[in-house]
Structure 1
Amino acid sequence: MSKVFVVDRSGKPVTPAHPGYARLLLKQGKASVYRRYPFTIRLKNVVEHPHVQSLRIKLDPGSKTTGIAMVDDASGEVVFAAELSHRGHAVKASLDARRAIRHSRRQRKTRYRKRRWANRKNKKKGWLPPSLESRIANVLTWVRRLSRYAPLQALSQEVVRFDMQLMENPEVKGVEYQHGTLAGYEVREYVLAKWNRQCAYCGKTDVPLQIEHIHPRANGGTNRISNLCLACEQCNTAKGTQDIAVFLKKKPEVLKRIQAQAKAPLKDAAAVNATRWALFERLQQTGLPVEVGTGGLTRFNRTSRELPKTHWLDAACVGKSTPDTLVIQEVRPLVIKATGHGNRQMCLPDKYGFPRTSAKGAKKVKGFQTGDMVKAIVTKGKKRGTYIGRVAIRGSGSFNITTTTGTIQGIGYQYCRIIHHADGYSYENGERYSSHA
C-alpha cells in the first residue's frame, strides 16, 4: 500500500508510515498535515517515529510520461509510485505559435522589430531545446521534492529506452549479449514502438506479431534496425522470401509508407536519447549514487516478475538492483500532470500580432493566486457549505472554486484557506493495483 511521508519536528524525513498509522497520529493530535501532494505529515513529538529506513528512487524517463517509484531494496516494497506527464509538446507548440506571429510581423512594411537570429549562433555547451529542458526540469523537481520528504540512499535511472548503438552493431558487446537471457529485448521493444504495435502490411492490432525483415535475409538482407518491421503470421507467411516491391506491387501506397517509415527514426525515442545523459549528469549533482539501466533490462525484469506494463511498474523494474520480489499490492500511483506556471505574455494578440486585450492584472489577490487548492467554509448566504478545490481569482476578491462536482462562483476570499499552493502541477489518484484485477 502507498505509504504516507513523515518528517520530524525539525523537518527531516523519517521512514514513511502506513496510512492507518498516519490517520491515528493525526486523530490523536501527535502530527499535523505538512503537505497535501505528496501527502506528508509532520510529527509534533520527536520520539514518535524514530526509525529511519533508507529508500531508492527509480525513474523511467519518457517523452510524454515518466514513471517514478520509491522502493525499499531490502524488502522489495514499493513505498510510493507516481506517473509524471510532461508538457514538452505544449512548450514546442507555444514557441511555434510565437515564432509564426513574429514572422508575420516582419513580412509586412511595419518592420519595427529588429532581426534577432544573428545573435543565436553560439549556444552554450549542453544546450537543449526548451521542450526537452522542461522534461528534465520536471524530473529533477520531483527528485528534489521527494528527497525532502523521504530518506533516500540511491537513485536508479533508465538511461536509454533503446540502445541504438547496440542495435546497429550487435557485436559491440560480443556474441555473449546476443545469446544471453536479454537477447532481442532491446530490438523488439524498439520495433514494437516504431511500428505502433500493428502489422506493417495489413494494419492488424491485438494479434501476435513477428519481427519481419523488409529485405529478406535469404536475398542478402541484414538485421539492421532499418530493415525490420512487424508482421502478423499470415502476412509474414504470404511474403516469405519475396522482395517487398514484388509482394506489394498491387498496393503502391502501402509500399511507399513502409519504405518511408523504415527510414524515419522514432521521434519519442530520439527525445529520450537526447536528454538521457543531461538528466544523468544532473542527478549525479544531488550527491546520491546513480544506477543506470536500459529499456531492455527493464522489460526483462518486468516480464520475469509477471507484472503488467505501466509507467510506474516500469520504473520499479529499472536497473540490476530490482529485488527478486516486488511488493506492490494495493499501491495507488499519484498521477501528476505538468501544467506550467503561467506565461509572461501580457495580453492576447490579434491575427496581425498586435495587442487586442488589456494587460492582465496582478497574479495574486488577497494572498491567493489562480491554481491554489483551497478549502472554503461559507457560514452564511445561499452558498453556505464547505468546498475544496482549485481557485480562480478575481480582482474583486470574489473567487470561483472548481471542485470534483463542478464550479462554484462568487465565493468571498475571507472564507478561503490555502491547503496547497499552486506549484505548476495538477494531481489525481490513479487506479489501485491489485493482483486480482
Structure 2
Amino acid sequence: MVYVLSVNGKPLMPTNNAKARILLKQKKAKVITVRPFTIQLLYETTTYTQSIILGIDSGYLNIGFSAVTEKKELISGEVKLLQGMKERLYERSMYRKIRRQRLRYRKPRWSNRIKSKKQGWLAPSIQHKLDSHIRFIDSIYKILPVTKTIVEIANFDIQKIKNPDINGAEYQQGDMLGFWNIREYVLYRGGHKCQNPNCKNKDKNPILEVHHLNYRSNGATERPEDLITLCTKCHTSPNHKGFLKDWKPKLKNFKDATFMSIVRWYLVNILKEKYNNVSFTYGYITKNHRINNKIEKSHYNDAFCIAKGINQIRIKPVKIEQVRRNNRSLEKFYDAKYIDKRTSEKVSAGDLNCGRRTRNKNKNGERLKNFRGQKVSDGQRRIRAGKYFYQPNDLVRYEGKIFTVRGTQNGGKYIALKEIKKVPKVELLTPYKFNKGFVYGLC
C-alpha cells in the first residue's frame, strides 16, 4: 500500500505499488516518506475520496490502530510507546537539587516559585503519553483522508480489581485502616520479623527496615504490596536477585488502568476539537464484536473491531516504536565482571560486594567480596565526547540498499546496521532519513 498526497499536500486514497512506481518513473510524483511509503503528486488531479473509519485502541504501553473502508483495510498496526519518562524526570530532579546545593548562598525566593496548577493539569509522564496519542493520530490524518474516528475508552475500578467482592462502605476501609502509616502496616503484616527464610541475623533485637521488592525503573510503588520487612543484614543488593526475585504474591501493576481512567476524556475532547466526527466506544463492545466474528485478540485486531471491520480485506500490520529524540546522558558506567568461586559463573562486582552498609561492623552483611575469582573485565566509565552524525534508527543507503542504523563503533568511524552483520565504514554510507519520534518497523 502506497499513500498518496495531492499537489497541495492533502491526503488522497492510497494506491498500489505498480502505479506508484510508474508515477515516480515518469517524474509525476516524488517520495515524501519511506515508512510508511508516501508519495506526493506533482500535477493537479481530482480529490475524490471514500469513507474511511479509523479505529484507535488507546493504552498505556501500546496503541492499536486500523483504518478501513467498506471493502478493505488501508493501514493497521500497533505502536510501542516510550517508557521510563517518570524515571528520567526523577533523575533530572535529583541532579538539579545536587547542583543547586553547591551554588553560593542566597536568600530563599519562594514567592515566585509557587504557581497554582491550571485546570486540566496532568503529571508530566501522563501528559507525555497523551501527547504521543495525539501526535500519532495526527500522523495518520496526514496520509489518509479519514472521515470518522472511533476511540476505545475505559474506566477501571482498581479496588474492585483487587477485591471483586468489595461493596459499599468497604471502599473506605482499606487494609491500612487503624495504622498511622505504610511502614507501621508493613511491619505489622510481617509480624515484626525479617521475612527472609534464610536470615542469619543473630541479634536479639534486629533492626528492621521496609524494603521495596522491585526497582523504581521496573514499576515499584509505595503500595504495601510492593514492600517487605527485612533486617539490616538481609537488606542487601544480592538479595534482589535471590529470594526476593520470586517472592509471592506476584505484584500486579495498575499503571495502565490508572492512565486510561485519567486521560480517556482528555483524549476524546482534544480530538473533537481538532477533527470532525469523533466518537468513542467501550471495551466490552469491542470484545463482543471480536468474539462474534472470531477475530484473534491483538491491539491492531481490537482497533479493526473498533472501526467496525468485519469482512474487509486485511493488510499486513506494521510495528512502530517510539524512540527518544535525544539522549542527553554524557556518561555511562559498566561494572567489572568476576568469576564467582562458588558457581563458576560470570557475575558483576556489585553482586559480590563487601557487605558494608553502616559504620557498625556488627550490622554489616556477609563479605561476598571473598568469593571473587578471576577478573573477566574491568569496570568502565564511558564519556561521550560529542554527538555522532548517525544515530540509532536512522536510515542510510549502502551498496544501493536502505538499512537501519543500530549504533556507532570505534569513535564513529564504523556504523553497525540492524539488517546485516557487516560493519561498514562511515564514508561508504549516505544519509537517507533521520528517524526520530515514531519509527516504523519493516512490514
Counterpart in the other structure of 2:185: none
Change (3 A) 1:313 1:112: farther
Counting aligned pairs with the same residue, the percent is 24
Select which of 151, 154, 166 maps to 2:145. Answer: 151
Select which of 6, 11, 14 maps to 1:8. Answer: 6
Select which of 35, 38, 57 maps to 1:37. Answer: 35
Unaligned ranges ≥5, structure 2: 172-223, 226-247, 336-380
Contact 1:388 1:401 in 2 (8 A): no
Counterpart in the other structure of 2:88: 94
Change (3 A) 1:407 1:138: farther
Alpha-carbon distance in 2 for matches of 1:397, 1:68? 37
Query: How many corresponding residue pairs?
Result: 323
User: Where do residues 38-53 of structure 1 align in structure 2 (5 Å cutoff)?
Assistant: 38-47=36-45, 51-53=48-50
Counterpart in the other structure of 1:184: none
Select which of 411, 421, 429 maps to 2:426. Answer: 411
Alpha-carbon distance in 2 for matches of 1:347, 1:263? 33
Change (3 A) 1:417 1:270: same
Q: Does 1:309 align with 2:309?
A: no
Please report how far the alpha carbon of residue 54 of structure 1 lies from its aligned counterpart in structure 2 after TM superposition: 3.5
Larger helix proportion of the pair = 1
Change (3 A) 1:25 1:345: same
Q: Does 1:267 align with 2:255?
A: yes
Select which of 57, 60, 63 maps to 2:57. Answer: 60
- Amino acid in structure 1 at the alignment position of 2:319: V
Contact 1:157 1:293 in 2 (8 A): yes
Please report how far the alpha carbon of residue 146 of structure 1 lies from its aligned counterpart in structure 2 after TM superposition: 1.8
Alpha-carbon distance in 2 for matches of 1:373, 1:7? 22
Q: Does 1:389 align with 2:404?
A: yes
Counterpart in the other structure of 1:361: 386
Q: Which structure has the larger Rg over C-alpha atoms?
A: 2
Counterpart in the other structure of 1:340: 324
Select which of 308, 317, 324 maps to 1:322. Answer: 308
Please report how far the alpha carbon of residue 299 of structure 1 lies from its aligned counterpart in structure 2 after TM superposition: 1.1
Please report how far the alpha carbon of residue 27 of structure 1 lies from its aligned counterpart in structure 2 after TM superposition: 5.1
Change (3 A) 1:20 1:287: same
Please report how far the alpha carbon of residue 96 of structure 1 lies from its aligned counterpart in structure 2 after TM superposition: 3.0
Deviations 1:288-315, CA, capped at 9 Å, x for gaps? 2211111111111211211111101111
Counterpart in the other structure of 1:286: 274
Deviations 1:311-370, CA, capped at 9 Å, x for gaps? 01111222xx625x24143x211111111101445666999xxxx87675357x4xx665
Please report how far the alpha carbon of residue 121 of structure 1 lies from its aligned counterpart in structure 2 after TM superposition: 5.8
Alpha-carbon distance in 1 for matches of 2:333, 2:39? 46
Alpha-carbon distance in 2 for matches of 1:79, 1:308? 19
Alpha-carbon distance in 2 for matches of 1:408, 1:264? 42
Please report how far the alpha carbon of residue 32 of structure 1 lies from its aligned counterpart in structure 2 after TM superposition: 3.4
- Amino acid in structure 1 at the alignment position of 2:434: H
Alpha-carbon distance in 1 for matches of 2:87, 2:422? 29
Alpha-carbon distance in 1 for matches of 2:250, 2:410? 56
Counterpart in the other structure of 1:82: 77
Alpha-carbon distance in 1 for matches of 2:312, 2:117? 46
Change (3 A) 1:358 1:294: same
TM-score by length of 2: 0.60
Change (3 A) 1:386 1:337: closer
Please report how far the alpha carbon of residue 21 of structure 1 lies from its aligned counterpart in structure 2 after TM superposition: 3.5
Counterpart in the other structure of 2:120: 126
TM-score by length of 1: 0.61
The DSSP-based 3-state class of the residue aligned with 2:85 is helix
Change (3 A) 1:113 1:95: farther
Change (3 A) 1:347 1:116: farther
Unaligned ranges ≥5, structure 1: 169-190, 195-212, 216-220, 227-255, 378-384, 431-437
Alpha-carbon distance in 1 for matches of 2:168, 2:382? 59
Change (3 A) 1:322 1:123: same
Deviations 1:162-202, CA, capped at 9 Å, x for gaps? 4649x98xxxxxxxxxxxxxxxxxxxxxx6xx7xxxxxxxx
Change (3 A) 1:224 1:358: same
Contact 1:154 1:290 in 2 (8 A): yes
User: Where do residues 203-218 of structure 1 align in structure 2 (5 Å cutoff)?
Assistant: none
Select which of 352, 374, 397 maps to 2:396. Answer: 374
